[in-house]
Amino acid sequence: MRATFKIEYHTRWGESLSLLISDRKYPMRWNEGNVWTVTLPTVKSGDLADYSYLLMEDGLVRRTEWKHHSARPEAGARDVTLNDSWIDCPIPGCLFPREHQAALFDRPGFRGAGTAVPVFALRSRDDFGIGEFRDLKLLVDWAASTGQCVIQLLPVNDTTRKGGWDDSYPYSPVSSFALNPLYIHLQDLGIREDASFKKLQSELNALPELDYPRVFKAKMEYVHKAYTARGAKDLSSAAFKKFYKENISWLGEYAEFCARRDGLESDYYAWMQYHLDRQLSEVVAYARGKGVHLKGDLPIGVSGDSAEAYWHPELFNLDCSAGAPPDFFSEDGQNWGFPTYNWEAMASDDYAWWKARLRKMSAYFDAFRIDHILGFFRIWEIPSEFTSGRYGHFNPALPYPKETIDSIGLPLDGLFVEDRRAPGYYHPLISPDTGSLEPGQKEAFDRLHTDFFYHRNNEFWRRNAERKIPELLGATGMLACGEDLGMVPDCVPEVMDREKILSLEMAQMDKGRPWPYLSICATSSHDMETVRMQHSRDCDGADAEPWECRNVLWDHLKSDSMLAIFPLQDWMSLDRNVRRKDFQAERINYPADPHNHWKYRMHLTLEELGKASELRVQVEGLVRDSGRYVAAE
């Protein structure tokens, strides 16, 4: 059908309006009376169910509506005109520019508390050597009983390659859409709990840590057995066909990618994703029904051996890898081993791939952590011929031409690296070798080095982020939280504040200012030491007493931060009878080790956690006294 869109909006000089529909922007034309219009010659009826207007300036999105419009034209209509009004936030005092799918986040002054834990770390009587989506119900019960409203997870995407330890790395997905098959609950697939099943289940569940290769082998054998028994029936069901249709944009490619990798039929992988979706969706509905919201984790990268890189290599720079410069975590920097994004190619269809990725997340999560949000401004890019993060450079950036470097009398060797996409232009090394420089040369290089990393690129990086972030955030109603630690340019907090993205605040990585309301404060993360480990490091190996841990948690809970989310290990440290004796075994990841085995598991079951009444009373008391208590629905 032909559709004309009209909306009255008073713009200033340089501003204009665009229509956003089906993930594409259409510039609108100004008319007398400040009415903006655009006519699309061909529009599907279903497209009108979700569209919105954007205020544009200099090619950037400057303002979005509070929520999207939805229209239902009469059946058979060939020409429709939609007269709309701009949708503003109806909540007095609300700070956010867009409506969230979890209404409590939009309450003025809302403050809440939560728990962070990887799914693989959960332990229950019914799992199979690794945490499963189904286990989250028990954690939801515990969180709701203490007044918490958020459970934060690590990425839950499929990381399967060969079933070895490298697959345990949750930030190296082979699909940005598919769920990890290891989180499936076998009994829900019809697997009988016979003697051999119970024997192996008991052995795997008794292990103090996750034995990833062994669990993978055992679970996948049972999963394939279930597929052989019931796959044909499930694949012919109306429910599976509905799931496949709703996920057609990625599911077929992913299933075929896995089939070529493993030499099995593609239907097997689509069938697994169908059951994983059912199991996780059931948990999500259960959690929301109790007033608990899941917070997901969006990895900044996608692996070079992923389904996306296989089918859509034009979206990635496959001749380099992303990482981080030398910092608090690693003196040599980090090489994450996945390619950087070709943002120019992604912009050609208004970031449709990113929007689809975020929408898939929003089916399960009401909030999400943007892993390394700095990557939307610039990424630390390491040419494929290097492994050390020391030899990377920021992309995009404004490197210096050789003539500029020559004019101040500096050599290239040991100080600069050439931009592989712009020959003759050079980036200063983050860790240069200045030992052979004359005093005047060293002073000149230090000035140039400081200018490059903290001033020269700031405006460039700001505009780079502003091209992407508003469009991506408008694709869903998830609360956006940014991991903004490390070498942070001045432009990052400016953009985060404009878009109302919550910052991450940690005492160990002080930013030199009070923690703002629009933030998440945390005692630790999966990359860092727990509270007890931090205390031990600072106090000659001594363990922290429960009251000392309580003081640390209270300092965070009483802060202005909108959310206070702590690792489960730190919550459990409050109770001497519940906490793990060997607190040095509670760390999840060592960022400096690219081959870290992600094997941490709870030392007690979730059933036991639920019965730990003294701990529950302590947690509930802290949450309630800090004004963060949210009553279970």
Q: How much is the average pLDDT of 511-529? A: 96
Largest CA distance in the chain: 80
What is the average pLDDT value for the chain, to the nearest integer? 95
To the nearest 10 degrees (0 to 180), the angle between helices 212-235 and 266-289 is 100
- What's the pLDDT at 531? 98
pLDDT of residue 333: 84
How far CA 632 is from CA of 108, 141, 205, in Å, comes to 19, 9, 31
* Euclidean distance between CA atoms 19 and 22, whole angstroms: 10
For residue 373, the model assigns a pLDDT of 95
Would the pLDDT of 450 be above 80?
yes
Read off the pLDDT of each residue in 431-447 and give the average, rounded to a whole number: 93
* Residue scoring higher pLDDT (364 or 421): 364
Q: Is the pLDDT of residue 594 over 80?
A: no
For the segment 461-471, what is each residue's pLDDT rounded down to a tens digit?
999 999 999 99
Average pLDDT of 318-347?
87
What's the pLDDT at 488?
A: 87
- On the question of pLDDT at 172 being above 80, the answer is yes
pLDDT tens figures, 198-257: 999 999 999 999 999 999 999 999 999 999 999 999 999 999 999 999 999 999 999 999
- Helix H or strand E encompassing 440: helix 439-451
Q: Please name the helix (run of DSSP H) or strand (run of DSSP E) that holds residue 394, with its range, or none.
A: strand 393-395
Backbone Cα Rg of the chain: 26
583 and 543 Cβ atoms separated by less than 8 Å: yes
**Tell me, what's the pLDDT at 100?**
98
Residue range 288-308: mean pLDDT, rounded: 95
> What is the structure's pLDDT at 329?
63
pTM metric for this prediction: 0.95
Query: What does the pLDDT read at residue 285?
Result: 98
Quote the tokens at residue 598.
């992600």
Q: What percent of the chain has pLDDT over 70?
A: 100
Question: Order of strands across the sheet with 334-335?
Answer: 334-335, 320-324, 379-383, 393-395
Residue in this structure with the two tokens 């034209």, named with its chain if needed: 73
Structure confidence at residue 355 (pLDDT)? 95
- Which residues are bridge partners to 481 per DSSP? 369, 502
DSSP 168: G
| Tokens read off for 486 | 């490390």
The stretch 138-163 carries a mean pLDDT of 98
**DSSP, residue by residue, 55-116:** EEETTEEEEE-SS-B---PPTT-SEEEEEE------STT---SS--SSGGGGSTT--EEEEE
306 pLDDT band, cuts 50/70/90, is: very high
Q: Which has the closest alpha carbon to 275: 250, 232, 245, 240? A: 240
- Residue given tokens 């490619």 in the structure block: 253
**101-119: per-residue pLDDT in tens?**
999 999 999 999 999 999 9
Q: Is the pLDDT of residue 626 over 70?
A: yes
Give burial (CB, 10 Å; 0-12/13-18/19+) of 616: middle
Distance, in Å, from the CA atom of 295 to the CA atom of 418, rounded to the nearest integer, reads 40
Cα–Cα distance, 518 to 507 (Å, whole number): 16
Which tens digit of pLDDT belongs to each residue from 339-384?
Answer: 999 999 999 999 999 999 999 999 999 999 999 999 999 999 998 8
pLDDT band at 18 (very low <50, low <70, confident <90, very high): very high
Cα separation, 447 vs 445, whole angstroms: 5
Please say whether the beta carbons of 474 and 361 come within 8 A: no
How many other C-beta atoms are found inside a 10 Å radius of the C-beta of residue 422? 13
Q: What are phi and psi of 213, to 5 degrees?
A: -60, -40
DSSP H helical segments within 474-558, as ranges? Answer: 491-499, 531-538, 546-557
For residue 325, give the nearest of 378, 286, 280 by alpha carbon.
378
Annotate 352-387 with b (16+ C-beta within 10 A) or e (fewer). ebbbbbbebbbebbbbbbbbbbbbbbbbbbbeeeee
pLDDT at 328 (0 to 100): 66
Q: What is the mean pLDDT of residues 24-43?
A: 96
Inform me whether the pLDDT recorded for 609 exceeds 70: yes
Burial-class residue 235 by CB neighbours within 10 Å (0-12, 13-18, 19+).
middle
